Amino acid sequence: MPASKDIKGIIRHVAEIIIEELKLEDVTVDTFSPELDLIDELGIDSMDLATIALVLQDEYKIVIDEDDYPQLKTVRLIAEYIEGKLSTES
């Protein structure tokens, strides 16, 4: 599990994963806005989201239900979702 479990650390790690999984070349963790709409602006689709979710599940040892995908619209919302899961599952 990643070392930092505070919201800022989770945001950075989620951004890292998205950049790596989607092979984004024109953005860094520092320039990736946590508020950027991943569907309406970055154009990720449900298969991208499924790929990212698999990595996040593995990294944070949580379960991400496919029904929850629609609410995972930004890096911040994903991070808050993970934070919530970690608090209820610990």
Partner 1 sequence: MITISTLLDKEWHERYKRIANLNIRSSIYDVTNRCNLRCQGCFFFSSGEHEVASEEMDIKKWENFIDREKARGVNLAILIGGEPTLCLDRVEAFYQRLPTYCATNGLIKVDRARFPGMMVGISLWGGGEDEKILRGRDTFAISSANYAGDPYTYYLYTITPKQLGNIDAIIRKIADVGLKVHLQLLSNDEGVDGFSWKEGELADLRHEMDEVLDKYPQTVISSKYYHEIITSGQMLGRKFGWRECPSVTEALDTRSPQPKRLIHFARWASDLKTVHRCCTSATRDCSTCKDGAAHMSWIMVNKRAHIRTTRDLQNWIEVYEMFAKLYRLIPW
Site residues for partner 1 per CB under 8 A: 22, 24, 26-27, 31-32, 36, 39-48, 50, 66, 70
C-alpha distances in Å from residue 53, one per residue of 21, 26, 46, 47 = 10, 22, 10, 10
Rg of the chain over Cα atoms, rounded to whole angstroms, equals 12
Measured in Å, how far apart are the chain's first and last C-alpha atoms?
13
- The CB-of-66 to partner 1 minimum distance in angstroms stands at 7
Using CA atoms, how far apart are residues 80 and 66, in angstroms rounded to an integer? 17
> Is the Cβ of residue 43 or residue 84 nearer to partner 1 in the bound state?
43
